[in-house]
Amino acid sequence: MLVATKKLLVITNMGPKASAPFQGQFVRAQVDELEAQGHPSAYHYMRWHSDSWLNRLLKYPVFFLDFLWRYMLSRQRYDLIHVHFFYPTIWLALLYRGLRNRQVKIVVTCHGSDIYHYQPPGKLYRWCAKQVQAWIFTSQALSEQFYFQAKPQRILSAGIQSRYAAARFQTRTEKDIDLLYVGALDRNKGMDRLLAMLPALRELHIVIAGTGPWQRQLEQAVADYPNVRLLGAQDAAALVKLYQRARCFISLSRNESFGLVMAEAMACYTPVVATDTDGAKAQITSGVTGYRVSQQQAEAQLCQQLVLAIKALLMLDEPEYRAMQQAGRQQAEQVLLPEVIHQLTQLYQEL
């Protein structure tokens, strides 16, 4: 077994905050599943995290100092470090290698913004990349956007929790939510697009679950659209029930490396309508597991095409809709967390 001889440390620059209480939970879920499979690991994440200006200014200095106190000054020695979100989180792993264990192996999982926001990459970014022993990308399209062909590498989703394996099949007539959105309420996730689409979706029962900077604008919209419900952040158990009740799930992201919420929805037998991001390309086959809409068009036209795709999905014949449900479920089963962790521990063993 891996941990019988090697000690693993998982690091991420994400952590929960008041406006996003479940942020970074997919990394925590990996750590929990590692332990469930007999591979316990230490876990360092951004504990001090909020939306205040002071936090934005000091969160990384505090994150680094917390790491120094917990791991650099600890007697425990780690042989393998897995970094989630490459930059600037990689500096913690490199600091550990330089001062505590020059033989430590570093694995990096790139999730999206750690590549999208660093194009073209600077000299320090490129130097740090050369220090990594193995790479994981959450989608093939994300890997292709990296500035060099990283080797060795694997394409591996962060994984969806095992509870989704037990999701109950419901027919379209048994479901009572026409359109569901789950996720952060911000511009990158397309909340401006959702607001623009609402006038054309008045006849649909729409549920929005999440928090973020666009929450106030969405709350104002709910007052004008009685068909829309804004629920706020929901825990995993509540999300399973929402996904099962939904006839269609919507993803409106501008950039999305994988999009676990799409996989969660499909695991609950709910087809997806999505903008054509890296994550949607990896999961959504138009006419099979849902519909993808190209972003290479004007915003007004894009919103119109999304509305048409939603209505087309909801108007499918029952056998066609059921086939789409089953295809989505089969797609999502490939990224259930136990299978993801099995592949992850194989990579650890190879190192």
- Pairing verdict, β 177-182 and 206-209: parallel
Q: Are residues 36 and 120 in the same domain?
A: yes
Q: Are residues 171 and 216 in the same domain?
A: yes
Q: Are residues 232 and 123 in the same domain?
A: no
In DSSP terms, 155 is beta-bridged to 137
Range of the domain at 138: 2-159+336-350
Position 162 confidence tier, pLDDT thresholds 50, 70, 90: confident
Position 296 confidence tier, pLDDT thresholds 50, 70, 90: very high
Q: Are residues 209 and 180 in the same domain?
A: yes
Would you state the pLDDT for residue 325?
Answer: 98
Q: Are residues 83 and 169 in the same domain?
A: no
Q: Are residues 209 and 275 in the same domain?
A: yes
Position 221 confidence tier, pLDDT thresholds 50, 70, 90: confident
How does pLDDT run across 79-120, given as a tens digit for each residue? Answer: 999 999 999 999 999 999 999 999 999 999 999 899 999 999
Q: Are residues 206 and 264 in the same domain?
A: yes
| Contact call for residues 185 and 157 (beta carbons, < 8 A) | no
Would you state the pLDDT for residue 8?
Answer: 96
Would you state the pLDDT for residue 5?
Answer: 54
Query: What single letter denotes the amino acid at residue 13?
Result: N
How would DSSP label each residue in 85-102?
S-TTTHHHHHHHHHHT-T
Q: Are residues 68 and 134 in the same domain?
A: yes
Q: Exposed (0-12), middle (13-18) or buried (19+): which is 286, by Cβ within 10 Å?
A: middle
How does pLDDT run across 52-65, given as a tens digit for each residue? Answer: 889 889 999 999 99
DSSP 23: T
| Contact call for residues 316 and 288 (beta carbons, < 8 A) | no
Give CA–CA dist 144/326, Å, rounded. Answer: 30
Q: Are residues 315 and 345 in the same domain?
A: no
Would you state the pLDDT for residue 3?
Answer: 44
CATH number, residue 118? 3.40.50.2000
- Rounded to the nearest 5 percent, the helix, strand and coil shares of the chain are 45, 15, 35
Q: Are residues 207 and 265 in the same domain?
A: yes
**Cα angle 165, 344, 283; round to 5:** 50
| Count of structural domains, the chain | 2
Q: Are residues 104 and 213 in the same domain?
A: no
- Asked if omega into 121 is within 30° of 0 (cis), the reply is no
- Asked if omega into 120 is within 30° of 0 (cis), the reply is yes
Q: Are residues 167 and 148 in the same domain?
A: no
